Amino acid sequence: MTRALICLALTFAASTVMGAADKKEPAPKVQAKLLDHAEYICNNCLFGNSDYYFCFDVNNKILIGHEKIRTQTRKQAPADLLGERGKMVPIRYDDTYIWIPGPNGKEQRLTQDYSRKLFTFNDACQRATK
């Protein structure tokens, strides 16, 4: 009985230590220029999703983020939160995600997605897509 408890305690301790090692520090905030954005809005669907794409320039590195939002739950379009093209925006990013300022100070997470050629106002955004 005590041997089983000791094994259980050691397993729990090892998994806690391994889980702590996997956690990364959050990416620091950087200033990014909003180069372009594109929206595919589902206007006539009750349970549909709208797609929002954003293209940023961070020190000459082009980042493209995508967010899919249910039409019912969207209170404000992400493009309205960021403002017009050319505006400087504080963001964080890693190899998979981009975090942008959201309503009430809460960040919104975009998934990096370079698979669609949909930007019409900026050639750098077009070149960054595959």
Q: Would you say residue 4 has pLDDT above 70?
A: no
Q: Cα separation of 102 and 63, whole Å?
A: 18
**pLDDT computed for residue 8 by the predictor:** 46
Amino acid at 77: A
pTM above 0.85, yes or no: no
Q: Cα separation of 111 and 113, whole Å?
A: 6
Q: Cα separation of 91 and 102, whole Å?
A: 11
Cα radius of gyration rounded to whole Å, the chain = 20
Domain ranges of the chain: 30-128
Amino acid at 20: A
10-26 per-position pLDDT tens digit: 555 555 444 444 456 66
82-115 per-position pLDDT tens digit: 677 889 999 999 999 999 987 777 888 999 999 9
Q: Cα separation of 17 and 55, whole Å?
A: 38
Q: Cα separation of 25 and 80, whole Å?
A: 29
